[in-house]
Amino acid sequence: MGVKERVTARVVNLFSHGDKPLENTDKYQGDYGLFGPGSISWEILGDVSSFVGGIRALLIQAAHPEVVAGVADHSRYREDPLGRLNRTAY
């Protein structure tokens, strides 16, 4: 297993709450629109590199003083940092 596969497995395990986070995706009967399986969005956002890019975006946003003040006043990130990251990521 390569580095990319190991990183992907760790990230999925951290945020998916199980081994098969997408197991019910194929059972969905509605319209996926532009973002369903097989779409370019699915391919791009499903790659672990988009997770890294998302973290970068959060760090840039967190540099703004008003964002920092809002997070400090209204977030539980100190008590539950992984839960907060999970809610932000999804």
What are the boundaries of each domain within the chain? 3-15+34-89
Percent of the chain residues topping a pLDDT of 90: 0
- Residue 84 in contact with residue 75, Cβ under 8 Å? yes
The residue among 56 and 23 whose pLDDT is bigger is 56
pLDDT in tens, 58-90: 788 778 888 888 888 888 878 888 887 777 766
Model confidence pLDDT, tens digit, residues 28-39: 778 888 888 888
Question: How large is the average pLDDT for residues 5-20?
Answer: 72
What CA–CA distances, in Å, run from 48 to 27, 55, 72?
A: 24, 11, 28
Q: From the centroid of its chain, how far is CA 50?
A: 8
| Max Cα-Cα span within the chain | 44
CA angle 14, 68, 71 (to 5 degrees): 55
